[in-house]
Amino acid sequence: TRSIDLAVIPGDGIGPEVVTEAVKVLRRVAEGAGVDLQLTEYDLGANHWLETGEVLNEDTLAAIRQHEVILFGAVGAAPGDTRIPSGLIERELLLKLRFTLDHFVNLRPSKLYSGVPSPLANPGDIDFVVVREGTEGPYVGNGGALRVGTPHEIATEVSVNTAHGVERVVRDAFSRASRRERKKVTLVHKHNVLVHAGHLWRRTVEAVAAEFPDVSHDYMHVDAATIFMTTDPARFDVIVTDNLFGDILTDLAGAITGGIGLAASGNINMDRTEPSMFEPVHGSAPDIAGQQKADPTAAILSVALLLEHVGLPDAARAVERAVEEDITSRAELTDVRTTVEIGDAIVSLVA
Ligand code: NAD
Ligand code: IPM
Ligand code: MN
pLDDT tens digit sequence for 286-304: 999 999 999 999 999 999 9
Residue 117 confidence (pLDDT): 87
Q: What is the residue extent of each domain of the chain?
A: 1-104+263-351, 118-257
Q: What is the CATH number of domain 1-104+263-351?
A: 3.40.718.10
Q: Tens digit of pLDDT for each residue in 110-160?
A: 999 988 889 999 999 999 999 999 999 999 999 999 999 999 999 999 999
What is the rounded (10 degree) CA torsion for 193, 194, 196, 198? Answer: -100
The reply to whether 1-104+263-351 and 118-257 are identical in fold is yes
Residue 333 confidence (pLDDT): 63
3-state SS of 234-268 is HHCCEEEECHHHHHHHHHHHHHHCCCHHHCEEEEE
- pLDDT category of residue 80 using cuts at 50, 70 and 90: confident
Protein residues with CB under 6 Å of any ligand 1 atom: 14, 18, 74-77, 90, 94, 260-261, 279, 282-288, 294-295, 298
Is 190 among the catalytic positions?
yes
Bridge partners for 158 per DSSP:
142
Exposed e or buried b per residue across 261-290, where buried means at least 16 C-beta atoms within 10 angstroms of its C-beta: bbbbbbbbbbeeeebbbbbbbbbbbbebbe
How many other CB atoms sit within 10 Å of the CB of residue 207?
Answer: 13
Look up the ipTM and state it.
0.99
Q: Which of 157, 247, 251, 282 to mutate to test the pocket of ligand 2 (most atoms within 8 A of CB)?
A: 247
First and final C-alpha spacing in the chain: 20
How many other CB atoms sit within 10 Å of the CB of residue 3?
Answer: 12
Q: Tens digit of pLDDT for each residue in 230-258?
A: 999 999 999 999 999 999 999 999 999 99
Query: Phi then psi for 170, rounded to 5 degrees?
Result: -65, -40
Residue 335 confidence (pLDDT): 62
Q: 3.40.718.10, 3.90.550.10, 3.40.190.10, 1.10.1040.10: which CATH number matches 118-257?
A: 3.40.718.10
Residue 1 confidence (pLDDT): 84
CB-based burial of residue 33 (10 Å sphere; 0-12 exposed, 13-18 middle, 19+ buried)? middle
User: How long is the chain?
Assistant: 351
How many other CB atoms sit within 10 Å of the CB of residue 323?
Answer: 25
Residue 330 confidence (pLDDT): 81
In this predicted structure, the answer to whether residue 332 has a pLDDT above a threshold of 70 is no
- pLDDT category of residue 334 using cuts at 50, 70 and 90: low
